[in-house]
Structures are given as structure tokens and as C-alpha cells.
Amino acid sequence: MSVHASESRPPARHTTSLKREIGLVGLTWASMGSIIGSGWLFGAQKGLIAAGPAAIVSWLIGGVMIMVLALVHAELGGMYPVSGGTARFPHYAFGGVAGASFGWFSWLQAATVAPIEVSAMITYGQHYSFANGWLNPKTSVLTTSGLIVAVVLMALLTAINFLGIKRLAATNSAATWWKIAIPLLTILVLAIATTHTSNFHAANGFNPGGFHGILAAVSTSGIIFSYLGFEQADQLAGEAKNPRRDLPIAIIGSIVLGMIIYIALQVVFLLALPGGAIGSTWDSTAAHTFATFTGPFAEIATLASIGWLASVIYADAIISPAGTGLIYTTGSSRVSYGLSRNGYVPTAFEWTNKNGVPWVGLIAAFVTGCICFLPFPSWQSLVGLITSASVLMYAGAPLSLGVFRKRLPDAERPYRLPMASVLSPLAFIVSGLIILWSGWETDWKLGVAILIGYLILAVSRGFHLNDKPTHLNWRAASWLPVYLVGMGIIVYISNFGPLSSPALGDISGILVVAVFSLVIYFWAMAVALSGDEIEEMVNEVVLPEEEGLQMPLG
């Protein structure tokens, strides 16, 4: 559908245009506000349980890995600043089949973060007597009353999004200043008040789980999850005032700040623990050990007789996750908007209200978030699923970057990633490793979610719920089913699978994933769309969006 053809069609019954009202600070705080959420409240505790004091190494590894992915997104976002960018880059590089697949991965990730944050709010809320009945203290599963509260909170996050992107960005920026200030205050106060350096070698040692424990902590204890969110600037690119200049700065800057804060939090959490809160092993769940804390940092502040800090942290436990849930609800509606632009989901997801908000996508995000509380009611289990979904989404970016560098070498790039020929395949390997470390119990559930997504996409296409022509480009996506099935097999036979005698250990698993990822990467480069095909799609979809043109519907 060309721009000229669109202009000759009858006026649309529903508006579908977005408003470009977000500046550099708004974009940076959208990413930063997503990074600093429930992860800071629980990540240090979960990391210490999984890897002992060596969790500090896990945070460093996780930060470097995510930085590689963020650098890739910085170049892509500057090239094609469209709404729901992470869901759309693979579409331009590989066509319909790959585009629809990665678009679903992206939407699944965005729509299920909000319920994670709501779950975190309820978990920390156990400090207050009125919230005691919302969570089963033994299983950390939401009770009936807890489910009702969770649905109400999801409704509030959705309702705020209807106000429009300008007001939302202002609200999120104010919340993010608070969200950054409280972790920094916690780091400063605990570092001054308590320094138990002997904790580095307490319990069963600095690194009780060895290399396996360090790697498992990166994915399953919430470390990778905590760093996620830098892509929110890309998701909102269609509403940015100067996206080509601001997007790379927002994405890279948010990861740098996030790494500094999270590593420092892990260190002070470890050093602040009194000896009586450490069991015989770091993963001990005996009574009165730190592993049983429902509000880790607040309870440490209480043990250190810093009551005022505990009160501030308990308040932040509501504000911080709420802010992250708010911006991810925004992002999910922009991803579904982008998927509709590409012709994958019903046209209704492009409908915007008078404030320029894709309201159908908001409602879909609300319903999905509520459903998530049923099979995955606790914070930890939700984190495992979303981490794998996120990595599948991110895997499309390095592949897309490799294609654009090869097929469109002279395209305008406001930010040009140094050593892209090395970092792009490396970023794809990183994605595979995080899938591996997520483990079979998480990955098989993700496989079911993928199949559900394909069913939804098939229904939309089969019943012609979107009138835009889509080209499936099967050849360009021939590598995708091999990648998904292959990664499933590798995880199953690895040290992170269900087998009592796995075929792959920690090191051999890493090597196999690296080799397999490189084979898929160069296969994808060979069958990707041509430069002319990519430019044709860019001219029809991306350029009109960049100019803020309204795209009428039939």
C-alpha cells in the first residue's frame, strides 16, 4: 500500500495516527523507568540464593550481555524510528513469517511484564496488615482476594494510559526520578551503616554453585529480567520528537545507569546482612534467614535499626513496580499497533482515541495481564517465562542489523555500531545463551505460548481481519523453525534440562549454543530479503510513519 494510493481512498472511520510529543528525557526515562522496577526489590536476594556472593559476577555478566543487545537496538532505532520497533525490524529484514513470529515474541514480552510488577507490589505489600490475605505465605501464590486486587491494579495501569502519551511521559518521568533516587539512597545508607565484609566467605563460600550457579543466576534469579526495558525507547519511537538523535542516547544511557545501580545494590545487600540472617548455605530457607524475606531491602533496613529507610522502601515497593508496569502497558499497545501496521493482527489495533492512544491494544494488554495471574501467579515463575520471551524478541534485532548492514550498506545511520560484523553475531549468541540458562521448565511453557501466538496470527489472516497485503516470504524465514526446535533440543539435553544424566555440561552447552547460533545467523544472512525488497517496505510503511502521516483504513 503506497502513500499515494492511501491518499486517494475514502476517509477512515477511525483515526490511526500517533502524536510526536516525547523528547530525550521522556525517552530515556521510559527505558530507565522500565529497567528500575521490581527487579531492584528482589533481584539481589534471588541472586544471592542462586549463586551466593558470586551473584555480583552474575550481575556483571548479565549487564555486559544486555549492553551488547542494547547497542544493536540503538542503531536500529535510529534507522527506523517507528512505533513498536522491536516487533518490526525482523519484518523489514525477513518478511512476513519471521516478522509475525518476532512480533508475537515482542508483544508477549511487553504484555506480561505488567502482571509481574503487580505481583511484586502485592508481595512487598505483605508488610501491611490489610494485605496479609492477598498472598499464600507458604507458596507465594495469589489468593482469591489477591487476584481481585491484582486485576484492579492492572485496570488502573491501563486507565492511566488512556490520557495520552504526553501526560503519560510526564507522569513516568516524575515516577522515574523517584525510582532512581530510592535505590541510590538505599545504597548510600546501607553502605555507611553496615559493612560485614566477612559475608563474602560466609555460609558455604563465595561461589557455592560454581560456574553453573553463576550462569543460572543470570537468567532464573531475575538478573536479566531486571536489565530488560531499554527497548522501551524503541517501542515509543513513533511518538518521539527527534528519534534519530535521541533514541541511541536513551537506550545506551539507560543500560549504563542500570548496571551501576544493580551491581551496587547486590554488594550492599550482601554486606548489610547480619550473621543471624545467613544460614549454613546461601540457599537455606530455614526460619529467619534472608531467603525467607518477603521485602528483602526493607527487612534488612529494619534489622539494621534504620526504620525510616524501611518505611521509604515499602512505599517505593508500590511506586517503582507500578511505574514499570505502566510503561510496559504503554509499550504493549504500541507493539500491537506496529503489528497491525505490518498486517499481522486485526486492523482494530491501529485505532486511536482523541489523545492518539491505540486503545484496543491497551484493552488486549489488560486482559492478557489478568490471564497471566492464573497459570503464573508468583513473581519468580513469571520472571522465568518473560525472560525467555524477551530473549526471543531480542534475537531478531542482531539478525536484522546484520541484514541491513549487508543489504543496505549506505543507509542513513544516526548511530553506527562499531565492529557490527562481530557484535551482531555475538548478540545473537547471547540471546541463545540466555534461553539455555532459563532452563527447560521455563522454555517448554514458552513453546506453548509460541504455538498460541501462531494460532492467533493464523485466525487474523484466515478471516481477513486486516486488509493490508502481507507477503510471507517463506524462504527468508526458512532458518526460524530450525532455530526454535534446535534450541529446544539443546536445552532439553543440557545441564539446564530435565535429564538426570545430561549430554551437555555447562561449558559444552555454551559451545554448542554458540556454534548453532552462528550457523543460524549466517543462514539467515544468506536468505534474507534483498535490498530492493527492504526499501520497498520502508517506503510504504516506515517513511509515512516518520512523517506523522495518518494512514487511513478501508
DSSP per residue, 305-327: T-HHHHHHHHHHHHHHHHHHHHH
Highest mean pLDDT among 114-123, 396-405, 441-450: 396-405
225/56 Cα distance (integer angstroms)? 15
- What is the pLDDT at residue 9? 40
- Round the average pLDDT of the chain to a whole number and report it: 83
- Whether 134 maps to a domain, the answer reads yes
- pLDDT top residue among 402 and 244: 402
- What is the pLDDT at residue 268? 94
What residues contact residue 38 under an 8 Å CB cut-off, 6+ apart? 116, 117, 119, 120, 121, 320, 321, 324, 379
- Per-residue pLDDT reduced to its tens digit, 27-67: 888 888 778 877 888 889 999 998 999 999 999 999 998 89
- CA pseudo-torsion sign 484, 487, 492, 496: negative
Lowest-pLDDT range, 1-5, 72-76, 507-511?
1-5
Residue 289, CA atoms < 13 Å, CB-side half-sphere: 16
- Per-residue pLDDT reduced to its tens digit, 453-489: 788 878 888 888 877 766 778 899 999 999 999 999 9
Confidence of residue 11 (pLDDT cuts 50, 70, 90): very low
- What is the pLDDT at residue 384? 59
Question: 22: which strand partners?
Answer: 240
The answer to whether the CB of 338 falls within 8 A of the CB of 88 is yes
| Of residues 176, 209, 213, the one with CA closest to residue 37 | 176
Residue 383, CA atoms < 13 Å, CB-side half-sphere: 24
CB atoms within 10 A of CB 489: 11
- Per-residue pLDDT reduced to its tens digit, 507-530: 899 999 999 999 999 999 999 999
- Whether 69 maps to a domain, the answer reads yes
Q: 90-125: string of b/e by CB count within 10 Å (b at 16+)?
A: bbbbbbbbbbbbbbbbbbbbbbbbbbbbbbbbbbbb
- What is the pLDDT at residue 407? 95
* Domain hosting residue 439, numbered range: 3-546
- What is the pLDDT at residue 7? 40
Lowest-pLDDT range, 177-186, 450-459, 541-550?
541-550
- Whether 554 maps to a domain, the answer reads no
pLDDT reading at 287 higher than 50: yes
- pLDDT top residue among 228 and 503: 503
pLDDT reading at 337 higher than 60: yes
- pLDDT top residue among 140 and 411: 411
Confidence of residue 288 (pLDDT cuts 50, 70, 90): confident
- What is the pLDDT at residue 457? 79
Cell of 452: 498460541
- What is the pLDDT at residue 389? 64
- What is the pLDDT at residue 15? 58
Residues belonging to the chain: 554
169/485 Cα distance (integer angstroms)? 40
- What is the pLDDT at residue 276? 84
Give the DSSP letter of residue 539: I
pLDDT reading at 129 higher than 70: yes
The answer to whether the CB of 554 falls within 8 A of the CB of 9 is yes
Confidence of residue 360 (pLDDT cuts 50, 70, 90): very high
271/310 Cα distance (integer angstroms)? 17
* Residue 343 CA: distances (Å) to CA of 187, 339, 376, 396, 470: 47, 6, 30, 18, 6
CB atoms within 10 A of CB 310: 20
Lowest-pLDDT range, 203-212, 216-225, 441-450?
441-450
Percentage with pLDDT > 70 across the chain: 89
- Whether 237 maps to a domain, the answer reads yes
- What is the pLDDT at residue 115? 85
pLDDT reading at 283 higher than 80: yes
- Chain centroid to Cα 16, Å, comes to 26
Confidence of residue 553 (pLDDT cuts 50, 70, 90): very low
- pLDDT top residue among 442 and 549: 442
- Whether 553 maps to a domain, the answer reads no
What residues contact residue 418 under an 8 Å CB cut-off, 6+ apart? none
- What is the pLDDT at residue 489? 95
- Whether 405 maps to a domain, the answer reads yes
What residues contact residue 3 under an 8 Å CB cut-off, 6+ apart? 540, 543, 544, 549
Interval 409-418 mean pLDDT:
88
Question: 358: which strand partners?
Answer: 352
Report the number of distinct structural domains present in the chain.
Answer: 1
| Predicted structure pTM score | 0.78
Cell of 127: 508488610
DSSP per residue, 260-305: HHHHHHHHHHHHH--GGG--SSTT---TTSGGG-SSHHHHHHHHTT
- pLDDT top residue among 8 and 443: 443
- What is the pLDDT at residue 222? 78
- What is the pLDDT at residue 461? 80
- What is the pLDDT at residue 59? 95
How many Å is the Cα radius of gyration of the chain? 23
- What is the pLDDT at residue 248? 85
DSSP per residue, 320-371: HHHHHHHHHHHHHHHHHHHHHHTTSS-GGGG-B-TTS-BHHHHHHHHHHHHH
pLDDT reading at 145 higher than 50: yes
- What is the pLDDT at residue 8? 41
Helical segments of 373-466, H only: 379-407, 420-438, 440-462
Cα dihedral value 260, 264, 266, 272, nearest 10: -170
- What is the pLDDT at residue 375? 55
Output the domain CATH number for residue 286: 1.20.1740.10
* Residue 202 CA: distances (Å) to CA of 30, 168, 343, 518: 39, 46, 57, 41
226/437 Cα distance (integer angstroms)? 16
- What is the pLDDT at residue 14? 62
- Whether 167 maps to a domain, the answer reads yes
- Whether 401 maps to a domain, the answer reads yes
pLDDT reading at 549 higher than 50: no
Lowest-pLDDT range, 94-103, 133-142, 269-278?
133-142
What residues contact residue 193 under an 8 Å CB cut-off, 6+ apart? 272, 304, 306
Give the DSSP letter of residue 228: T
- pLDDT top residue among 296 and 439: 296
What residues contact residue 525 under an 8 Å CB cut-off, 6+ apart? 399, 402, 403, 406
